[in-house]
Structure 1
């Protein structure tokens, strides 16, 4: 079975993957938008995600070997986003990425999505202004520029949600000084 989810907030995706596992659908592989599941015993695994440094940092192999020696299986990797699982009968497990790294990863996503939002807003507004000046409306240009504005509207919610998650992590960082 395939599911299509856009990976904006990794915590939401992790929650969805674990909900699927509780129904007997276990993650087999994924890309940034397509998740492939296979049928198995419901609730037999618990899934966690982590975001590794890009382009293989010096500690990455050691970290992955440590997880493997702890009985944690790497399911699949797409870019720096990795899913791990462990049998549910062994109890819950956590991957402890430090809060500074999580905040940095969220900031990078927010920056990228904000840039995409601003470019679409710019081109959408400029395009709509140029169309409104003439007597004859070019429907293709109107459709393309309206699509830019639609993309802007669709990105606002996820960006705000990521900003809230980052703000919570920053507060926790200040309180617990991670």
Structure 2
């Protein structure tokens, strides 16, 4: 079974993948938007995600081998985003990533989303101003410019969620000094 979700907030995606596993759908493969599941016994696995270095750090192989020796299976990797799983009967497990790294990863996502939003906003506004300067309306151009503005609205929601999550992590970092 294939499901489509935009991979923006990794913590929401991890929660959703675990909800799917509790219903008996095991994650097999994923990309930034497409997730492939296969049917299995409900609640058999717990899933966690991690974001590795973009071009492979020197410690990456050692880290992945350590996880494997701990009974943690790598499910799939898309870019630097990786999903792991472990049988649920072994109890919950966590992949430790310090708050500074989490904040840095969220900041990168915020930057990308902000550029996508600003670019679409600029193209949409400039295009709309040109659409109404002629005697005859270009309906195709108008619909493309409206689509750009809809992209701005759609991507603004995850942008604000990521900013809020990053803000909470920063506040916790200041309080607990990670």
TM normalised by structure 2 equals 0.99
Q: Which residue of 2 aligns with 1:25?
A: 25
CA drift of 1:132 comes to 1.1
Matches within 5 A, 1:23-102: 23-102=23-102
Q: CA offsets, 1:123-167, max 9 Å, x none?
A: 100000011111100011101111110100111111000000000
Instruction: Give 3-state SS (helix, strand or coil) of 1:26's partner.
Output: strand
Pair 1:117-2:117 in alignment:
yes
Partner Cα separation in structure 2 for residue 79 and residue 95 of structure 1: 18
Partner Cα separation in structure 2 for residue 11 and residue 143 of structure 1: 34
Q: Which residue of 1 aligns with 2:166?
A: 166
Q: Which residue of 1 aligns with 2:8?
A: 8
Q: CA offsets, 1:17-66, max 9 Å, x none?
A: 00110011100111111111111111000000000010101111111111
Number of residue-to-residue matches in the alignment: 178
Unaligned runs of 5+ in 2: none
TM normalised by structure 1 equals 0.99
Instruction: Give 3-state SS (helix, strand or coil) of 2:71's partner.
Output: coil
Partner Cα separation in structure 1 for residue 39 and residue 116 of structure 2: 37
CA drift of 1:106 comes to 0.5
CA drift of 1:172 comes to 1.0
CA drift of 1:176 comes to 1.2
Partner Cα separation in structure 2 for residue 120 and residue 11 of structure 1: 26
Q: Which runs of 4+ in 1 moved over 2 A?
A: none
Partner Cα separation in structure 2 for residue 152 and residue 68 of structure 1: 41
Pair 1:104-2:104 in alignment:
yes
Partner Cα separation in structure 1 for residue 169 and residue 60 of structure 2: 23
Partner Cα separation in structure 2 for residue 175 and residue 158 of structure 1: 26
Q: CA offsets, 1:104-124, max 9 Å, x none?
A: 010000001100100000010
